[in-house]
A = this chain, B = another copy of it.
């Protein structure tokens, strides 16, 4: 496996189109990137694999979904400096590094929370002995049954759903497990109900309200 030539990767318009689509710090699935670059899914997959290998992109796997994002601010800077000398008009929306930082803190992964907040929450729930990790799933303990109930989450109802109940999902930015599945989705929904967090539509960004910060600290010892 040779060292991939980073310069050559940036030379192909299709790959550059994909990178452009991610320059604002967002994370998009392969199909969307294929569409934006105007190529077939196979071709997009091929290019994305190369960009991953060269560490220009990273992929965040959540359940069966995969979101691609720019690997680091350095990549954005390099592309921007290339735009300068290529005589292209600079990007209107420059990459917002602080936004990327916010995404690392709290974002959605499909329909549940991800990021530092989700990893911290999974840690706290295990520490409080509400859940335990067993293989690729979490199990809710006896203590957890009543505690989740008191939090306003109807576990028996969730179990009736035909989806994985409490899936362990590996976080990209933290590289540690957080809570997915029906329970993860219910937690996000309940947090929104209580106005602990607010989810922007059409975006994966999640804002933590001051009330949410207080409650997370008081109830779970989470200080983000």
Determine the distance from Cα of A81 to Cα of B3 in the docked complex, in whole angstroms.
Answer: 18
List the number of copies, as a whole number. Answer: 2
How would you classify the secondary structure of chain A's contact residues: helix, strand, loop or mixed? Answer: helix
Which residues between 5 and 32 of chain A lie within 8 Å of chain B, taking CB atoms?
5-13, 16
Indicate whether A119 reaches chain B with its CB closer than 8 angstroms.
no
Determine the distance from Cα of A7 to Cα of B85 in the docked complex, in whole angstroms.
Answer: 10
- Interface stretch (choices A37-45, A71-79, A103-111): A71-79
CB distance from A222 to the nearest CB of B (A): 34
CB distance from A53 to the nearest CB of B (A): 11
The contact of A5 among B13, B75, B78, by CB within 8 Å, is B13
- Determine if B74 and A81 form an interchain contact, defined as CB atoms under 8 angstroms apart: yes
A residues neighboring B (CB under 8 Å): 3, 5-13, 16, 54-56, 72, 74-75, 77-78, 81-82, 84-87
6 tightest CB-CB pairs across the interface, nearest first? A6-B86, A11-B11, A8-B11, A78-B81, A7-B11, A7-B10
26 residue pairs of the A-B complex, CB under 8 angstroms, read: A3-B87, A6-B82, A6-B85, A6-B87, A7-B7, A7-B10, A7-B11, A7-B12, A8-B11, A8-B12, A10-B10, A10-B82, A55-B85, A55-B87, A72-B85, A74-B81, A74-B84, A74-B85, A75-B85, A77-B81, A78-B78, A78-B82, A78-B84, A78-B85, A81-B81, A82-B82
